[in-house]
Amino acid sequence: IADAETFSGHEDCHEQKKARKRNSKETAAALEKLLPKRCQVLGLVTPGVVVTPMGSSSNQPQEIEEGEAGFALLFPKIDGVKIHTFHFSKDSKNRVFDESKFAEAGLKNNPDLRVVLLFGYNSWKSGATRFLHQIVNPLNEKSIILAGGQVESFTSLTSENSSAQPGDACGVVGLAFSGPQIQSATVLLDQDVADERTAEAAMQRLKAANIPEQNTLGFMFACVGRGYRHYKTKRNMEADAFRKFFPNVPLFGFFGHGEIGCDRIVTGNFVLRECNDIKDDLLHGYTTVMTLIHLGSTK
């Protein structure tokens, strides 16, 4: 994940747009050459990033809203855990999404599915919001954590060849985490969360999920309208609140153009609040979604 300026700059003329597109593909190709061919690579371009610096999971996470920044997050092979990428691109010829593609991507008829991280791209395109609803609504089940947000674009998806890159199309890319030992929880910080006290109250809700901290990652998906602008020039507010309650969990994420998630807990025995027929509202603006993903015991 890298901030948009790294790949885009500020200019908008046609030749510079082509150069930016070429640069992002070259960067993606260079990254892929550094990794074994069996690795699946998903690269995202966003307006800003949230990262825990290398060296220790207990390092202070940083919200980087300006300037050039980026990070790479590599998942090891873990017994009992399957992580795979997926990509759904909007078909201009069909208004209705073919839900059989969910099963092909392991997102349906998969009893071990626990977490889906979703990233919409080119959300400014006509029909993009409707398409995102078509993806999110069928996955809105109480036994699955859904989290993510709207990004500028994606620059790499090695499960596809380079000629299939989307250009100006819109769609959804993501990661699906399957495995019986996976535990996860999310909380939504809405517009009313606007100071240190209310931010920490949200982290207390996340802490109450009792997700083990060992072998766990934190993800933060925030609106570009939050950060220091939302907290009246106080920087790093939400990352600091997360670190206070999760001192040994590294935090990663981005600032984007819309957020996906809600308050939800999924543990190994699917202990959830009472389920009913009402679907959770998962698409938001001017919010932050905080997510924990526990990948199981290291034993």
Q: What are the pLDDT digits (tens) for 35-81?
A: 888 788 888 889 999 999 876 777 899 999 988 888 889 898 899 99
pLDDT digits (tens, 9 = 90+) for 231-281: 987 899 999 999 999 999 999 999 999 999 999 887 655 444 444 456 788
This prediction has a pTM of: 0.87
Per the CB < 8 A criterion, the answer to whether 257 and 128 are in contact is: no
- Within 10 Å of residue 36's Cβ, how many Cβ atoms? 6
pLDDT digits (tens, 9 = 90+) for 132-156: 999 999 998 878 999 999 998 888 7
Q: What is the pLDDT of residue 269?
A: 54
Query: Minimal CA–CA distance to 115: which of 299, 249, 294?
Result: 294
Alpha-carbon gap, residue 155 to 162, rounded angstroms: 10
